[in-house]
Amino acid sequence: MDNYRFILSGGGTGGHIYPAIAIANELKVRFPKAEILFVGAKDRMEMEKVPQAGYEIKGLWISGLQRKLTLKNLIFPIKLISSLMKARNIIAEFKPHMVIGTGGFASGPLLKIASGKGIPCVLQEQNSYAGVTNKMLAQKVEKICVAYDGMDKFFPADKVIKTGNPVRSDLMKVSLDKKTSVEFFGLDVSKPVLLILGGSLGARRINQLVEEKVRFFESLGLQVVWQCGKLYYEEYKKYDSESVKVFDFLNKMNFAYGAADMIISRAGAGSVSELCIVGKPVIFIPSPNVAEDHQTKNAQALISENAAEMVKEKELNTHFEVVFKEIFNSKERQEKFSANIKKLAMPNATKHIVDEIEKLLKN
């Protein structure tokens, strides 16, 4: 039998959405007759990105709890009840053989209902510090696929399997030659390119840094490909020029990575996994505004292997230029970072996750 029905749920940020899409693509390869449905949170980026990838998606009226008392928190119970009811209807209608959650608000209600009905469920946790939704669901699921060692401090040890994080399939083609990639952005092939990534929604502090350092980068003869994020594009598009290319979102990441000589990035789990495969010298600027400062821990895992550099947000004013110049002026350090970060790549993560799904289906 290969006409299985799968529901995938996860979203809010690219870090939850792209792993889910990668898993769906691999399921389609294994089971060409399979039916695949996504469930996301209404008004979040998955409602746009999933249909672009060719899959149907249904939205739940759900959001996270705010850390302070707000009106949104007061209506959270209503949203939760509404989402649980809609999730129950979706499951009754679609009758999935398996439900896969990749984290984010919507996966909570959906996997709670599915596991309660005895439908096998698999979680995929991207970070070194487990998300709230996945921790709540852990007892009820069959398998939890993780990317870091030591995750049994969050989850039942017998359910945890280290697979790595799925990455977008186009990243496997980063071997695009440099010339094609640089020309794709209308840049000069003879000059080095710096790629700046603030995550799928953009990062305010990284954008402020780039604005402050545009002249500094130009003084080094660098060209810049800058993903500033949808929320910030109107503010920063004025910097778009012959040598600085500003984007709200980069749909062709393989070209962006192919063009880059150096990269500045947040240290979300998805970004870290992608950058290991890409194998370019990276300076991480972790977001300090995440649970348990997990981005710093993600970056630290690479720094301990001499595979990248990190500058914390609070040190940007004093340390950034010095650290950047040291790496930019040392071909030896760049080559060392590239070689070491590639060793940490887990390019077969998606296949391993779907292997686990296949085993559960057979049982």
The annotated binding site for UDP-N-acetyl-alpha-D-glucosamine is made up of 13-15, 127, 168, 200, 295
Residue with tokens 């599915």: 114
State how far the Cα of 31 lies from the Cα of 311, in Å rounded to an integer: 44
Q: Which residues are annotated as a binding site?
A: 13-15, 127, 168, 200, 295
Contact 39, 5 (CB under 8 A): no
Residue 363 structure tokens: 């049982």
State how far the Cα of 322 lies from the Cα of 327, in Å rounded to an integer: 9
Helix (H, G, I), strand (E, B) or coil at 40: strand
The DSSP-derived string for 87-151 is HHHHHHHH--SEEEE-SSTTHHHHHHHHHHTT--EEEEE-SSS--HHHHHHGGG-SEEEESSTTG
Please enumerate in sequence order all residues whose Cβ is within 8 A of that of 208, keeping only pairs 6 or more positions apart, or say none. Answer: none
Backbone φ, ψ for residue 312 (5° rounding): -75, 150
* CA end-to-end span of the chain: 13
Contact 20, 49 (CB under 8 A): no
Number of H helices and E strands in the chain, helices first, is 15, 13
DSSP state of 288: S
Residue 326 structure tokens: 């040291």
Contact 162, 348 (CB under 8 A): no
